[in-house]
Amino acid sequence: MRPGGPDPVIVVTRRWPAPVEQELARRFAQVRFNPDDTPLGADGLRAALAEADVVLPTVSDRLPAEFFDGEPRTRFLGNYGVGFNHIAVDAAAKAGIVVTNTPGVLTDTTADTAMTLLLMVARRAGEGEREVRAGRWTGWRPTHLMGADVTGKTLGILGMGRIGGAVARRAHFGFGMPVVFYDAADAEPRHGIPDAHRVGTIEEMLEAADFVSLHMPGGGGNTHLIDAGRLARMKPTAFLVNSSRGDVVDTDALVAALRSHTIAGAGLDVYEGEPEVPAALRELDNAVLLPHLGSATLETRTAMGMLVLDNLQAFLDGRQPPCRVA
């Protein structure tokens, strides 16, 4: 496949919002959509790499290094999503494949989800909802479902990038929360919060925070970054929020910390082996569990798809895709 060459064969691995699918169909003649939205699985993904010029995957499609052995036909992988740790990008690049993602357009929506988790876990909203739906609510009383205040509490951010910064702004300017953050990058990313306090170690941030929100990419050295030792550094009254990638937290250690009240609670949108969520976690009332819906609004999911199209169009026109990661 070359710029200006014949119409590429394009595989879209999952259902996308209708306006984006319509736009793809309008621009390209050979698009293979997935009307059933059934995950392609390993065999389907291997077949896609062998048969299509362009594959448009997302987080539910695992593309490990061995999938890029041999000579895949695919020249372009346009990931629908900002996180791309499900793709072995070095192996893809070695096989001559350009890889792109969708940063920026989902920042606010994902930050809203982190705040949703933070508020829900602090105010025991999941427990309350379950009680009402089960017909178990017996009425107002002074000691019923007492949670923790959010306003004025300290927010700890791990990873002060686009989404971490957007969460920090919401918490600081909306809820008067002082912000303490750890970020390994050299730049000083305060995101317009003049007194955001940068600390030199993850431990310092964990010890200072009443709420800890994780905003690190998954995979590599970030796997189990939050382990038993680090959970033990948090205050017993503190809450952990994870809307980044499940593997950043050691699930077994988290379950143990929630059971023993080493920490007060956790709000999770992502899981190590998703969509599997361990029963041990599902049984815990001090965990709020969402099904990886961080960026799930019609507006944002449409914008993500349109950004995949921008990346693809640039590649096909022989330009540098705006969001190239490999």
Please name which of 211, 240, 238 lies closest in space to residue 227, comparing C-alpha atoms. 240
Q: 10 Å Cβ neighbour count for 23?
A: 15
245 is catalytic: yes
Segment interacting with ligand DGY, rule: CB under 6 A, options 3-11, 44-52, 76-84, 165-173: 76-84
The least distance separating ligand DGY from the CB of residue 147, rounded to whole angstroms, comes to: 27
Strands 76-78 and 98-100: parallel
* Ranges within 50-69 binding ligand DGY (CB under 6 A): 58-59
Segment interacting with ligand DGY, rule: CB under 6 A, options 2-10, 25-33, 81-89, 173-181: 81-89
Catalytic residue among 75, 230, 233, 292: 292
Please name which of 224, 17, 210, 243 lies closest in space to residue 111, comparing C-alpha atoms. 243
**Contact with ligand DGY (CB under 6 A) among 20, 87, 88, 106:** 106
**Contact with ligand DGY (CB under 6 A) among 81, 126, 265, 321:** 81
Burial 167-195 (b: 16+ CB within 10 A, else e): bbbbbbeebebbbbbbbeeeeebbbebee
The least distance separating ligand DGY from the CB of residue 108, rounded to whole angstroms, comes to: 13
- Contact letters for ligand DGY, residues 266-295 (x by CB under 6 A): ----------------------------xx
Segment interacting with ligand DGY, rule: CB under 6 A, options 77-85, 92-100, 148-156, 195-203: 77-85
Q: What is the DSSP letter of 65?
A: G
| 83 is an interface residue for ligand DGY by CB under 6 A | yes
Q: 10 Å Cβ neighbour count for 25?
A: 11
Are the beta carbons of 271 and 277 closer than 8 angstroms? yes
**Contact with ligand DGY (CB under 6 A) among 9, 82, 179, 323:** 82
DSSP 3-state assignment of 213? strand
Distance CA 73, CA 85 (A): 22
Binding site for ligand DGY (CB under 6 A): 58-59, 81-83, 106, 294-295
Catalytic positions, please? 245, 274, 292
